[in-house]
Structure formats: structure tokens, C-alpha cells
Chains A and B, each alone.
Chain A
Amino acid sequence: MSELPKARIATASLAGCFGCHMAILDIDERLIELMQLVEVDRSPLTDKKRFTQRCDIGIIEGGCCNEENVHVLHDFRRNCDVLIALGQCAIMGGLPAMRNAIMHSDAPLRECLDEAYITGKYIRNTTHNVPNDPALPLLLDEVYPCSQVVEIDYQIPGCAPSGDIIFDTLSKLLTGKFRGFERDMIKFD
């Protein structure tokens, strides 16, 4: 049995759909192999809400659509040696970024909220208000990819990335053998 200290990993989902976290589970039985090498710190997988100590790898799903996302992302950058953007939303904004450019609209965020809560044909919103509870994090003017907020070391593409590319990249990074992706693993969908 190896007595090497295990690498610490943290994960978070920002403006994403949790599909990339589901994709982490697509690693299937190789998770057992991976768990020999790592310990999971702050993550929805462990339900830890704060860092208990500095981590070797931080994995971010989703881009930044509100101020809380930005705080979490900064916290990850501060506490992780290597930061990975996992999936298209973290890499380029993804589906949430559809609100950044709405046809013929000068105020796309306003138009998006209006349609979602007030004017949309199929909504049942008895208050006819856009939610504005003080507990809700403030929305950003646009949805930003992670790399426009902090420095990102690696990006794992996909929507969602396959279990194979996640396992391959993580196990190679952990053993210092990562030299880029196999071409047939690169997918943006």
C-alpha cells in the first residue's frame, strides 16, 4: 500500500445544471481507483460548504451569473493550486450565456427576466414581480466564463464531459503525466 499523502480535491457548481457533477459519477467503478489517490474536501459530493484546508485541485462547473458565483470562484482560486474549468458552461458560459445576446434587445437581462416572470405566455406568477428577495444573490449584467473572472489552469471540454475524459485528465494530472487531451476525446457537446 502506498503511503503517499492523498491529493485534496474540491468541486463546486456555479451557473451550471449539475450535469458535469453527474458526469464525474460517470467515471463509474474507476472512482474506487481515483479515491486511492484523492480525498474530497469542499464539494457537493461531501456536502462540505467550506474549505477545511488548502487543496491541490479545484474543479469548477458552470460560469458566473451572479455575485455569489464570483465569490465562490475567487475562494476556489485562493484555496486551490490547480483550477480546472469542467464543461462548456465553465469554459464559455454555455446555456446560461444565451441571455447575453438576445435578438433585437438592448437590455437582454431585463428582457430575459420579463419573459421568465412577467410577460411569458406559459407562466403562473401571481405576484407579477421579478423575484427580488434580499437573500437572493445579485445577478450579473452578463454570464461570464470562469477564465474571464480568475486564471484557469486547465479546461475539460464537453456538455457534459464524458466520464472517460474526466478520469483520464484527473489521473494524469495527479501523476504528473498530463500532456493535453487525446484528440478523439475533445467534444464541445
Chain B
Amino acid sequence: MSGTKKETGFTFTIDGVEITAYAGQTIMEAADEAGVYIPRLCDHEGLRHQGSCRVCTVKAGGRSVAACTQPAAPGQAVENETPRLTKMRRDLVEMLFHEGNHLCPICEASGNCELQAMAYRLDMTEATRFPYLEPCRALDASHPDIALDTNRCISCGRCIRASQDVDGKGIFGYVGRGIHRRVAVNGENLADTDAEVTDHAISAEVCPVGCIIRKRVGFAVPIGEREFDHGLIGHDIEEKRK
């Protein structure tokens, strides 16, 4: 007798590699378990899937879908690391760099930043074809333990979901529409909210960039010895395959 899990399990392929999935799993969840990395920025383990950054776009059934929200389907052939998809992801990441003010040399998140690490992984090294938008965005240092530098925000909404779903607070939320959509604080500034440095939303893992800053710890680990200085983003997932 095989286990009950086996009965509901099915297989599909990503770039020709056979992946086992269970009913209700997304393409990305099944891929992560199997050790196949699909690049992502707005998705984070433990948070509800949102599917907004589109960096995880894969081809499934001839259509472009967000791997973090699309349920895996039996027998489906999914394309992940094709030159076309990699180029599209690189363009998306490049546009995120252009939409905000992302100056890696002055950013305390450099080396721990998922946006930067994604640019490394996707070989974002060619001369840019896009203009820099250079928006004037606010810095909120009102809170005694936390600062927000919204120049670096990529509107992924991970802090919003972490605050609502994990902390049960709702400190952050989206405001505006279209290109004007931004992550905002639910109050005049951060000091007016019940944000605490111990919140999951404020923790180092939730903000993928250097927007949410925990004061007085920024350079405890020096540049050059940080997470993505020692390995490409996603290598922890890819190592499961070996």
C-alpha cells in the first residue's frame, strides 16, 4: 500500500526535469521542493502568494504565468530558464532598478539585497536602454528603532502581508494606482504606528531590498561577507537537487 500522499501526487516537467506535485501546489512550491529554482522577488516563504513582480514568470501550456500563483497541472511542460524568459526577467529587474533610486554603493543592504542578487544571477551588466526615473521619495526615520528609505522600495508588498497575516497589525498598505502605486505606512509616519523592531514585517528576511532598516545594525556584517557575496540567489534551493 502506498501512502495517501502518493495517491494525490502527479508529475509535470520544468525544462524537461520531472517534478512531483500534489493537488493544490503552485508550480513554484513544487519546484522549490524538487530543488529547481524559479527566480522571484515578491514571493517569500511563509507569506501568502501575490504574483505581482512577475519575475517568476514561466511558460506553461503556451501561456506566460506567474509560477508563484499558478497551480501545477498534471503532465504540463513548464519552461523556466529559457533565454527568452531570462531576458524578460532581466528587463523586469532592470526596470525596478530604474523606477526607484537604487544606489548599491551607498546602500547598507548591499550584499543582502535580493534585487541586487537577482541582477547578479540574471547577468544585468550591459549598458542600459532605459532612462532613470529618479523619483523624489521620502525617508522616514521617525521611529526610534526602524527607518524607512522608500527610495529603495520595489512595492513587492512582502511587508504588507507579513504585517497583516503574521503580526496581525497592518502597519503597511498599498496606496495609489498604476505606476503611482506605493507601499505606505498606516499613519502620519512610522512612529505613529504600533510597529516594533521585533515584528516579522521588520525582520531582515521580509524586505528584499534596503527599504526597511533596523537602526544600529546596518554594518555589523561588512560588505563582502554577506549572504549573496558567497553564493547566487537560489543556490540553497538548487542544492536540494544534488
**Interfacial residues, chain A to chain B (CB-CB below 8 A):** 85, 88, 91-95, 97-98, 100-105, 108, 142, 145, 147-148, 151-153, 155, 157, 159, 180-181, 183-184, 186-189
B126 touches A155 (CB 8 A): yes
A-B contact pairs, 23 of them (CB 8 A): A88-B103, A92-B132, A95-B106, A97-B103, A97-B132, A100-B132, A100-B134, A101-B101, A103-B136, A103-B137, A103-B139, A145-B128, A148-B131, A159-B105, A180-B125, A183-B120, A183-B121, A186-B123, A186-B125, A188-B110, A188-B116, A189-B223, A189-B224
A155 touches B125 (CB 8 A): yes
Selected contact of B104 from candidates A103, A142, A155, A188, CB within 8 Å: A188
**Residue on B with the closest CB to A85?**
B127
A189 touches B135 (CB 8 A): no
Please report whether the interface of chain B is mostly helix, strand, loop or mixed according to DSSP: loop
B123 touches A145 (CB 8 A): no
**Interfacial residues, chain B to chain A (CB-CB below 8 A):** 97, 101, 103-107, 110-111, 116, 119-121, 123, 125-128, 131-132, 134-139, 151, 223-224, 229, 232
Selected contact of B103 from candidates A94, A102, A104, A180, CB within 8 Å: A94
Q: What CA separation (Å) do A102 and B216 show in the bound complex? A: 23
A88 touches B104 (CB 8 A): yes
Q: What CA separation (Å) do A186 and B232 show in the bound complex? A: 10
B123 touches A95 (CB 8 A): no
Residues in chain B near residue A88, CB distance under 8 A? 103-105
Residues in chain B near residue A103, CB distance under 8 A? 136-139
- How far is the CB of A58 from the nearest CB of chain B, in Å? 14
A98 touches B120 (CB 8 A): no
Having A183-B121, A187-B120, one finds 18 other A-B pairs with CB under 8 Å, namely A85-B127, A92-B132, A94-B103, A95-B103, A97-B132, A97-B134, A98-B106, A101-B135, A103-B138, A103-B139, A105-B136, A152-B127, A153-B127, A155-B126, A181-B123, A183-B120, A189-B104, A189-B224
Residues in chain B near residue A186, CB distance under 8 A? 119-120, 123, 125
Residues in chain A near residue B137, CB distance under 8 A? 101, 103
Q: Which 10 A-B pairs have the closest CB atoms?
A: A188-B104, A159-B105, A147-B127, A189-B110, A152-B127, A101-B134, A100-B134, A186-B120, A101-B136, A189-B104
A102 touches B136 (CB 8 A): yes
Residues in chain A near residue B119, CB distance under 8 A? 186, 188
Residues in chain A near residue B223, CB distance under 8 A? 189
**Residue on B with the closest CB to A108?**
B136
**Residue on A with the closest CB to B98?**
A92
Task: Choose among A95, A101, A104, A153 the residue with the greatest number of B CB atoms under 10 Å from its CB.
Answer: A101
A157 touches B128 (CB 8 A): no
Residues in chain A near residue B224, CB distance under 8 A? 189
Given contacts A102-B136, A103-B139, contact A147 B128 (CB under 8 A): yes
Q: What CA separation (Å) do A42 and B132 show in the bound complex? A: 31
Residues in chain B near residue A85, CB distance under 8 A? 127
Residues in chain A near residue B103, CB distance under 8 A? 88, 92-95, 97-98
